[in-house]
Chains A and B, each alone.
Chain A
């Protein structure tokens, strides 16, 4: 136990003495953990309800077990973009952290010690986030619910503890290569394949999926024999398959785009962007997978919403239109939230890629490479592989919407075709938020340090 305390102390010292990049990582990781805790707590609290219950929010949408299960599934699905975001956060300052941990190994620390120190670092950030989120959620819950059941309390406690623990476990797993040898990644010669984090993302996706399925299966036994109950299950399955496909598709797209363009590029910016994609297509895949997922869901939802909105307003549901529209709006809000998280992840990822390369970028600027060229290369790195991938994802979403409209014999809601365009533009904007950072990063001062 004393050695654990020593490690904890070391982890704390390392975090405290670290530079701004580290603090960004800690802050963003804590925010991500807080989001994850919030969603999970909401899902748990709802899952603890049994049968008909009067919940004073969302136009009575949460009163019945059937619709409640849908909301729970939605909340759990929101964990997917949060996971992606956390993955991006873990990469902030990764190069420096890897070097520092390799330094610990060189100083004689055993692999498990280094892994534990790193896990403690992440765990502490996660604990901070989850603690803040838990406190606020509990306060909110006590206002809405006079006497939460023991089951609800147990669930809340479980989530509050599980989030930081999971974060620590994932970071220990992700560091297996760094700590394998004392020299670790002090000297990184060949570009790594980067499939590891992609696999982690998939594993996380799978975990969320399984939990969502379990929640759906156990939540409402009374409603299980009702027709249409299979729909949420199908949606979850489709989204999972879509996510896995998106990772692969995005990586493959980046690789092909990079290879084709690297041979034909006529301008310096295109050449740099293409060669970077070719060197590490999976970096793009990690960042873009969640974007594609949101595109499919968002486009499809836009179509479905259009059709359902018409149905609700015009037909026999009109007296309860409010109820249905609130449901739709809630789903829309969830998708918008997911998209916002995904965009933050993208912006963080772009900023991180700049921070990692700051010395090299400073050298390019010193050699007279205009900042505009470097900025264009940065945007092209996002724009090039994303264009075909978003197009395909948009087509997928449009297909869902069209299919739904066709089922109900309604005209195809073409407005949904706008969704992929909006997604693409928003992604470019998110990447462009790093451009001011490029100006500050590529300083001659960086030339002075190794």
Chain B
């Protein structure tokens, strides 16, 4: 989930009503099961920035017998900003950071074994896909889990297909890279 706006996701979670920082983290991790879990510290830093920019405000402070907790709520400006972001088109991958391709080219340049690398990378991808598929195909998996797993699966599958065609064309690629 590179480049995803944590600000806007927290604003979205706040849209259902005032919430504590810890609550927000838990709800985020539940709702986006295949995404990287949010760090607690990251939640607080982001909330403070939202307050600074006038998109959220402190709703109150309570302790409920435990440690002190600050609750936050969204402002009108925050609601407006959230609507703008939700409707905005995500740019279709303007610069793809293709680490795998870079490694293949470097392997060729440095006289390494790109075929073996691709094969190992492919196995690692497959292993991850099997894990995601097991999560998705488990009995009683809810639709949010299935869909987020599907998203990741499709991206991994795209990588995999690219690796398969690249592996089949390594000889030509090696000749081209070496000639340049």
Chains A and B in contact, CB within 8 Å:
no
Q: List chain A positions with a Cβ less than 8 A from chain B.
A: none
